Amino acid sequence: MVRSVGVDESERQLLDDVAEYGWHCIHIMEEGEQVGYSFTVGMYQTFGHPELIILGLSSRVSHQILSIVADAAQAGTPFDLSQPTDALINHYSCCFAELPLSEYYEHVGFARWYYQGDDFPLYQIIWPSKSGLFP
């Protein structure tokens, strides 16, 4: 079950975006030693596609990458999350890794709020270094 009523502007914006676009993007700014990241909310409910998180890129670039995956899911041609893809970042191959539930609380609070718990899959998009190496 998902939330249908938001009490503040950010919650209402999330619900409005999911209703209009099928998903919403949350950007968490870099702070101190914590790297910035972005994640989706609503893709699982709307498209049956796992939610996604991407770390260490600007909010603009992250949103563009997440939009590519969301557009494919909406079109009925989702990415195979078990395979690398070169369709997200020019000249680089990205891969996907499922995150364990233990990471949800710290990283995707708004998704947990929307789904009223942890009953949704979450995958990280992993991008390589400029030399093409993965962490």
The whole-angstrom separation of Cα 22 and Cα 135 is 31
Q: Residue 122 in contact with residue 103, Cβ under 8 Å?
A: yes
Tens of pLDDT, residues 96-108:
999 999 999 999 9
- For residue 80, give the H/E element and its range: none
HEC per residue, 91-132: CEEEEEEECCHHHHHHHCHHHHHHHCCCCCCEEEEECCCCCC
Task: For the full predicted model, state whether its pTM sits above 0.95.
Answer: no
Statement: residue 33 has pLDDT above 90: no
